Structure 1
């Protein structure tokens, strides 16, 4: 199969022919239909986050099941599935207390000493990144890293549910537990931020404020449900939000991964408000609340992958799209081939478009 391989950080991905193993007892072999380009991948490509190399990035995918292992009961060949990087074991402390996104059990990966899932023709190992490696024509993953969806769902749109939408919408529904009428500011209008804005509209937010330096993204946010849009680089951005909301927002969501945007999220909270950090911040960043913030009941939290429970959440998000509630079409800026993956990341660096999606020939 063909796959885009990260050989060295800060170098273009290389298209290679790789071998993929047969499914083990709890593994699923998937023919990849589509995979979104996520900023999280770019962090690994640029070396900001470490990972054993060579490896195949890509984690926001959908496809069709080709084969399953002997113990797999959740999906079967022919099923249309969405993958999710927050694979869960089902029996650790986090899983049994309903926090599947926090599971870090090694049970969803192959044990040391077992043949690798991915390899080069010479037999050398190619590392699977985030348990998925979806920039490839096939994926071999644990059964708890995918979920079956309605076969009428277009797979290119289903793909972006696997990360951007699960993270953005999941934050609204799961981490924030937004109450209808509450106010929301979303800082950063990329794929995750736009999904959060759309979900806030679905959840009945009273005011949804999009905050981004790029005018085109602010306009896109309005299409997806933002009631107001503010230039993140404006000197009085905080003041504008506080004035609009008569004291600050109930929820401020940081969806870009920058120190300045995280600080802004904390500054625009009303008394009792919550700032939720979604972006992959530089590893040396620290975000905090001051003493008076704490005395005002303000809260700060992380929400990895939107604190999803993806076997339940993903089919629901698909249903939202099928019923016309969730707008995935607007989030997708372009569809490209695997050979164009590097150009896709160059466009991402420019910061003026939404999601690019690799579509594989079926």
Structure 2
């Protein structure tokens, strides 16, 4: 079928909205009419080249929700008219990682930036002249209609608004899980969240959910610091020097129990600053992404060893999307997790580049594309 979507043709580059042809779903696939897509920083990384992809043009977007319009054979209980959220990492259910409760590390996730379907190397999306178009994370939510694997879709109840539910497909779970799962925040802990955007704001929510006594939101942008305090941060700082000093005041000079790095373009220096802010046996969680070719973190090995500090990576916040997406929506229902408040501004698909400029200018916690 004919649809429209935002693609990047090269990196560095900008998104361009073009007409696309989308194939009907094959076995174990579904086609979805997108209702909304969150504008995650990772999709901007595709455009800048910080995250390298395997196929150009690449149709972006990996945080979306919509309504099923077609299903292929073996639809596994999903029917036309169902509401789904896309998980940006698929879950096969059979590999070692899925079977051991680590769906975020599913083996199929290794191919999600290549462009074609990981099962057979074929494409579901093409330009109008027949050239293959890669699908970001196998889903591409910056399109009006997409065809994706059932491994990437989570069916949800129809009473949840899709324009807020879309955020649970990446940003919410990544941030919330970075605190709850990766940092293992406990009641009474002191936590620093470094970088308050679409991920960091949810790390604040996760730390609050886990019972942290002191949650220090660190960001140079005043608007973001204020927003973090509305969402559960107890204190705010404009620099890591200030945040570290606050953490020491709360811990008799020891330092934070954990520091979560969610900076939009993360560098080794950011990680080192977070590492220096934590106590003995504390945890630094690295969730943010920068240039994938950058190597090195300037920390002292002796500090890592003798202070028994932990440096922990976090992909999708250590989530199991088939379970965590649904339970986070239940938290939303009860008021324990804020979603509506995350959305700073909504955009049309044609305004996508303005949305990303607003993000880079520090004006948005989360921009959302809404489709008519």
Tell me if TM exceeds 0.5.
yes
Question: Is this contact kept in 2: 1:75–1:147, CA < 8 A?
Answer: no
User: The residue matched to 2:170 in structure 1 has which SS?
Assistant: helix
Question: Is this contact kept in 2: 1:74–1:147, CA < 8 A?
Answer: no
Question: Is this contact kept in 2: 1:184–1:249, CA < 8 A?
Answer: yes
2:318 paired residue among 285, 300, 307? 307
Query: 1:338 and 2:349 equivalent?
Result: yes
Q: Given the superposition, is the C-alpha separation of residues 205 and 334 from structure 1 closer, same or farther in structure 2, using an over 3 Å criterion?
A: same
2:37 paired residue among 20, 23, 35? 35
Question: Is this contact kept in 2: 1:89–1:107, CA < 8 A?
Answer: no
Q: Given the superposition, is the C-alpha separation of residues 192 and 95 from structure 1 closer, same or farther in structure 2, using an over 3 Å criterion?
A: same
Q: Residues 62-211 of structure 1: matches in 2 within 5 Å?
A: 62-105=65-108, 109-112=117-120, 114=122, 116-211=123-218
Structure 1 segments unaligned to the other structure (5+ residues): none
Question: Is this contact kept in 2: 1:101–1:307, CA < 8 A?
Answer: yes
Look up the match of 1:260. 269
Look up the match of 1:241. 247
Give distance in 2, aligned partners of 1:224 and 1:249. 20
Q: Residues 213-232 of structure 1: matches in 2 within 5 Å?
A: 213-232=220-239
Look up the match of 1:44. 46
Deviation at 1:156, TM superposition (A): 0.9
Give distance in 2, aligned partners of 1:81 and 1:163. 14
1:11 paired residue among 2, 10, 13? 13
Deviation at 1:320, TM superposition (A): 0.9
Structure 2 segments unaligned to the other structure (5+ residues): none
User: The residue matched to 2:192 in structure 1 has which SS?
Assistant: strand
Residues 135-154 of structure 1: CA distance to partner in whole angstroms, max 9, x if unpaired?
00012111111111121111
Question: Is this contact kept in 1: 2:259–2:283, CA < 8 A?
Answer: yes
Residues 69-89 of structure 1: CA distance to partner in whole angstroms, max 9, x if unpaired?
211214222111110111022
Deviation at 1:204, TM superposition (A): 1.2
Question: Is this contact kept in 2: 1:150–1:318, CA < 8 A?
Answer: no
Question: Is this contact kept in 2: 1:266–1:289, CA < 8 A?
Answer: no
Give distance in 2, aligned partners of 1:107 and 1:255. 24
Residues 67-117 of structure 1: CA distance to partner in whole angstroms, max 9, x if unpaired?
212112142221111101110222222222221111233798254464x20
Q: Given the superposition, is the C-alpha separation of residues 206 and 237 from structure 1 closer, same or farther in structure 2, using an over 3 Å criterion?
A: closer
Deviation at 1:308, TM superposition (A): 0.7
Give distance in 1, aligned partners of 2:276 and 2:51. 27
User: The residue matched to 2:94 in structure 1 has which SS?
Assistant: coil
Give distance in 2, aligned partners of 1:37 and 1:107. 21
Question: Is this contact kept in 2: 1:150–1:315, CA < 8 A?
Answer: no
User: The residue matched to 1:342 in structure 2 has which SS?
Assistant: helix
Give distance in 1, aligned partners of 2:300 and 2:283. 11
Look up the match of 1:24. 26
TM-score (norm 2): 0.92
User: The residue matched to 1:25 in structure 2 has which SS?
Assistant: coil
TM-score (norm 1): 0.94
Look up the match of 1:297. 308
Give distance in 1, aligned partners of 2:173 and 2:139. 16
Question: Is this contact kept in 1: 2:39–2:366, CA < 8 A?
Answer: yes
1:60 paired residue among 63, 71, 91? 63
Give distance in 2, aligned partners of 1:39 and 1:176. 22
Q: Given the superposition, is the C-alpha separation of residues 202 and 236 from structure 1 closer, same or farther in structure 2, using an over 3 Å criterion?
A: closer
Give distance in 2, aligned partners of 1:285 and 1:150. 43
